[in-house]
Amino acid sequence: MEKSKKEVLVLEDILGSNKKIASSIRKKLEDKGILAANLLSSPGSGKTTLLEKIGLKLKDRYRVGVIEGDIETERDAERIRKIGLPAWQITTHGACHLEAKMLARIFDQIPADLNFLFIENVGNLVCPASFDLGESLRFVLLSVPEGDDKPRKYPEAFITSQVFVITKADLLPYLPFDADRVTAEALEINPKLEVFRTSAITGEGIEPLCQYLEKKLQELRTKNA
């Protein structure tokens, strides 16, 4: 509606070429038995904090690595390295989302014996949803302070994800956020979503989320066997 013919053609070009690179990345990762998850959310929804919590739980039994996508700074990668996990930084210098070609460029640095590769996208609930990165799973996060009216306002991220994580659930008693309403709305948009309610403070939901990830890794291994 808002785009000129030229804009539409260029966008189709970009998305088409992105899709090809992403498919090749996904095949390489899955062949190696690496389960990759792409995390999408607004800035400040708690993507890095969730990865810290999951990483600490998984790292004794699995090899875990994180790709950090940021417009500027290595702040998130530094946090991940502090808990003893490898983190590879992609700085987009202004670009509002990660693209598959950015991953392709650092792909050689990813160890082939990894079990879980988490990709923290740029903090943006809109644009990253259009770009496949070759992940096996996509997570959309929504934090309690953001409000429970978001799924219908930002539908694409919910439509294209397999996992919906409500974060900062420890704030539920203090803020007007109806977790049942937001879950129902997200499931109306995408009935296949797996929903987790988590808190990095109380630890709520972290264990079930890790069990889900382990189950998905097991499915990948069975497929590869």
CB nearer to a second copy: give 168 or 216: 168
CB nearer to a second copy: give 59 or 101: 101
Sites for a second copy among residues 53-112 (CB under 8 A): 70-73, 75, 92-96, 99, 101-102
Range list of H helices, the chain: 5-31, 47-58, 75-82, 100-106, 150-153, 155-159, 179-189, 206-224
Binding of a second copy by 173 (CB under 8 A): no
CB nearer to a second copy: give 91 or 162: 91
CB nearer to a second copy: give 33 or 147: 147
Binding of a second copy by 197 (CB under 8 A): no
CB nearer to a second copy: give 92 or 190: 92
Q: At what angle do helices 5-31 and 206-224 cross, to 10 degrees?
A: 80
Sites for a second copy among residues 18-37 (CB under 8 A): none
- Separation of alpha carbons 127 and 97, rounded Å: 6
Phi-psi region of 84 (alpha: psi -120 to 50; beta: other; left: phi over 0): left
Give the max Cα distance, the chain. 52
Which of 99, 109, 107, 48 is CA-nearest to residue 74? 48
- Token readout for 199 is 């808190």
Q: Is 13 helix (H, G, I), strand (E, B) or coil?
A: helix
Binding of a second copy by 2 (CB under 8 A): yes
Q: How far is the CB of 61 from a second copy (least distance, A)?
A: 30
Sites for a second copy among residues 105-164 (CB under 8 A): 122-127, 143, 145-147, 149-150, 152-156
Binding of a second copy by 7 (CB under 8 A): yes
Count of chain residues binding a second copy (CB under 8 A):
44
Contacts of 212 (CB under 8 A, 6+ apart): 163, 194, 196
CB nearer to a second copy: give 48 or 136: 48
- Separation of alpha carbons 53 and 60, rounded Å: 13
Q: Which residues of this chain interact with a second copy, rule CB under 8 A?
A: 1-3, 6-7, 10, 13-14, 42-44, 70-73, 75, 92-96, 99, 101-102, 122-127, 143, 145-147, 149-150, 152-156, 168, 171, 174
